């Protein structure tokens, strides 16, 4: 990992304008615009009506995606 640190920093410097700060993930996570759109599309395709069905992992997966349905982080990022 140490050998790649400078490459990661360089990539982030060149692509920071394509990153979105996700308000629903812990730690002020930066994700790419593409990842944000993919999560939103996935949330629209999943049946999130009953997040309590299934095991605890299924609950966490559905609960994590459900916040993407109403998130406006991309709109805020485009406006800035």
**pLDDT one-digit tens code per residue, 45-63:** 988 888 788 889 988 888 8
Mean pLDDT of 36-52: 88
Number of domains in the chain: 1
| Closest among 67, 1, 71 to 33, alpha carbons compared | 71
What pLDDT is stored for residue 1 in this prediction? 56
**77 compared with 15, residue with greater pLDDT:** 15
Domain with 67 in it: 2-79
Model's pTM, two decimal places? 0.74
70: left (phi over 0), alpha (psi -120 to 50) or beta: alpha
pLDDT category of residue 80 using cuts at 50, 70 and 90: low
Q: Between vectors from CA 52 to CA 47 and to CA 38, what angle results, nearest 5°?
A: 40
């Amino acid at each position: 990992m140490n050998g790649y640190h400078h490459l990661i920093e360089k990539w982030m410097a060149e692509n920071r304008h394509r990153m979105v700060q996700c308000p629903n993930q812990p730690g002020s996570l930066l994700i790419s615009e593409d990842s944000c759109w993919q999560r939103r599309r996935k949330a629209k395709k999943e049946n999130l009506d009953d997040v309590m069905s299934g095991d605890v992992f299924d609950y966490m997966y559905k609960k994590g995606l459900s916040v993407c349905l109403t998130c406006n982080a991309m709109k805020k990022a485009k406006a800035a």
